[in-house]
Amino acid sequence: MSKLAISGGMPVRQEAFPSWPVIGVTDREKLLEVFESGKWWYGERVREFEERYAAFHDAKYGVTCANGTVALEVALLACGIGAGDEVIVPPYTFMATASAVLKVNAIPVFADIELDTCNLDPKDVERKITDKTKAVIPVHIAGLPVDMDAFRALTQKHKLALIEDACHSWGSKWKGKGTGAIGDCGVFSFQMSKNITSGEGGILLTDNEEIADTARSYTNCGRIKGGAWYEHHLMGSNLRMTELQAAILSGQLERLEEQTLKREENAAYLGEQLKDMPGISLMRRDARVTRRSYHMYIFRFLSEEWPGVSRDKFLEALRAEGIPCSAGYSPLYKNPLFQQSGEGPRYCPISCPYHGQGMDYTQVVCPNAELISREGCWIPHTVLLAEEQDMKDIACAIRKVWESRGELTGI
């Protein structure tokens, strides 16, 4: 048994994994062309990117905006969600999924996730539906599509809007159709860490023309199709994307398919290497998932099989072996925003004195989200752009840490 790198031994790997973002030669040309044209404002390139990205996801319409957070807010507004409405969201996601609901003065209601996918559990969603529920926002966590058949059936049965938070699932497909275009609408983020990026940026996709037009109006100061420039119909904002961002994204989009396939191949290979590994468990992939983006590779550290070793110590040991990894999300409702709503600033509708309907998030418990927040392990998507041999290093490092786990109990 070799000594762990965390205790001074030789690491499994010393070479770096691929860096991010990937910049192609033509990306520079595309960006310079826009720069030199002096046309930096929303125009031809943004429109072209909207069309190409929507087509890539099998959607009819694409409406770009400043980032994924505002794309969620716009999606809620465009679906008619407002004050006093309840919107069911998972707690295991980035804060924007829930804060966007608050921003439109609606109430986020947390339903639990499935332990073997980390995705929102449709059965728990059904239990949380009340007569105030107006929408559900499932998140395709790490690019793994949620059970869209179940969510479609559920939202149709209860007449709810279905908004996909597809901010991890560029290129993921459910039964052959692109995520983000299966529900009423879906939103994507192009923030720096994402699998297609322009530093910041976002897009809403939909097959529904009315949602697309309303979303466009909200992102463009409330203007409407065919209206005069200084004519404003909705309480919109300026959330437009620039031509410079669109130029960067157009180069990124050219490589997305190829990179997605590479991540999928490497993830499948890594899965083969890890499937019988003691001490961890892998996520389940539904047979109806036909393409998966892999924003990260998630697996579970099975605490009961590692007496005396914490998940965080395990991750530290793995990083010392040269494998990038992190712990991931904590349940959103544990954040001060939700836990101290009575004492801190007054966020409507959590504790708005005028709204008359406060929420007590200190009572919320989603056991699976809490367990995953203690046991989840994330490997970033850039690692999956390496070669097959590099995947062996990951498996080798996890096995080494398992075999020498005794070294971790005393430190």
Ligand X SMILES: Cc1ncc(COP(=O)(O)O)c(C=O)c1O
> CA-CA distance, 114 to 183, in Å (whole number)?
20
Tell me the pairing of strands 280-282 and 202-206.
unpaired
Tell me the pairing of strands 376-380 and 296-301.
antiparallel
Task: Give least dist CB 158 to ligand X, A.
Answer: 23
Residue number, 191 or 217, with CB nearest to ligand X: 191
Residue nearest to ligand X (CB): 68
Residue 326, strand partner residues: 378
Task: Give least dist CB 395 to ligand X, A.
Answer: 27
- Asked if residues 262 and 385 have their Cβ atoms less than 8 Å apart, the reply is yes
Residue among 112, 165, 184, 393 flagged as catalytic: 165
Helix (H, G, I), strand (E, B) or coil at 112: coil
Q: Is 189 an interacting residue with respect to ligand X (CB under 6 A)?
A: yes
> CA-CA distance, 73 to 105, in Å (whole number)?
10
- Verify whether residue 14 is a known catalytic residue: no
Residue number, 146 or 274, with CB nearest to ligand X: 146
- Verify whether residue 312 is a known catalytic residue: no
Q: Which stretch binds ligand X (CB under 6 A): 64-72, 144-152, 312-320, 386-394?
A: 64-72
Residue number, 185 or 395, with CB nearest to ligand X: 185
Residue number, 6 or 366, with CB nearest to ligand X: 366
Task: Convert 115-131 into a string of H (helix), E (strand) and C (coil).
Answer: CCCCCECHHHHHHHCCC
Name every residue whose Cβ is closer than 8 Å to that of residue 178 and which is 6 or more positions away in sequence.
56, 57, 58, 59, 171, 172, 205
Residue number, 191 or 341, with CB nearest to ligand X: 191
Task: Give least dist CB 336 to ligand X, A.
Answer: 19
Q: Which stretch binds ligand X (CB under 6 A): 25-33, 165-173, 273-281, 361-369?
A: 165-173
Which residues inside 111-150 make contact with ligand X, applying CB under 6 A? 139
Name every residue whose Cβ is closer than 8 Å to that of residue 395 and which is 6 or more positions away in sequence.
270, 273, 274, 277
> CA-CA distance, 214 to 108, in Å (whole number)?
22
Task: Give least dist CB 279 to ligand X, A.
Answer: 28
Residue number, 189 or 259, with CB nearest to ligand X: 189
Which residues inside 65-104 make contact with ligand X, applying CB under 6 A? 67-69, 93-94, 96-97
The Cα angle at residue 368 between residues 151 and 282, in degrees rounded to 5: 85
Task: Give least dist CB 200 to ligand X, A.
Answer: 6
- Asked if residues 168 and 139 have their Cβ atoms less than 8 Å apart, the reply is yes
Which residues inside 214-273 make contact with ligand X, applying CB under 6 A? none
- Verify whether residue 194 is a known catalytic residue: yes
Residues with catalytic roles: 94, 165, 168, 191, 194, 223, 230, 240
The binding site for ligand X (CB under 6 A) comprises 67-69, 93-94, 96-97, 139, 165, 167-168, 189, 191, 202
